[in-house]
Amino acid sequence: MENPVLDIVYVAAILAVFGLVAPGRLGSREAVIGIDVLAVVLGVAAVAYLVYALVKPERF
C-alpha cells in the first residue's frame, strides 16, 4: 500500500525542480498557481495532440 504523504512530497519535489513552486511552500498560494500553470500546460498539450490525431489519423 502506498503512502499518500510520500506522494505529496514527490509532487512538491517535482514542482520545485521545474521551478513551479519554491521548496517548502507546498500549500501556499504560489504552489496553487504553479499547479494551475502545470494543469493548463498539460491540458493544452492534450488538446493539441487530439486535434493533430484527428487531422492526421494515418500517422497513428
- Nearest Cα to 32, choosing from 48, 55, 11? 11
Angle at 8 between CA 5 and CA 14, to 5 degrees: 145
Read off the pLDDT of residues 1-58 as tens digits, 9 standing for 90 and up.
466 666 777 777 777 777 766 655 555 666 677 778 888 999 999 999 999 999 998 8
The number of distinct structural domains making up the chain is 1
Q: What is the 3-state secondary structure (H, E, C) of the chain?
A: CCCHHHHHHHHHHHHHHCCCCCCCCCCCHHHHHHHHHHHHHHHHHHHHHHHHHHHCHHHC
Does pTM top 0.85 for this prediction?
no
Range of the domain at 47: 4-59
Q: What is the pLDDT of residue 59?
A: 80
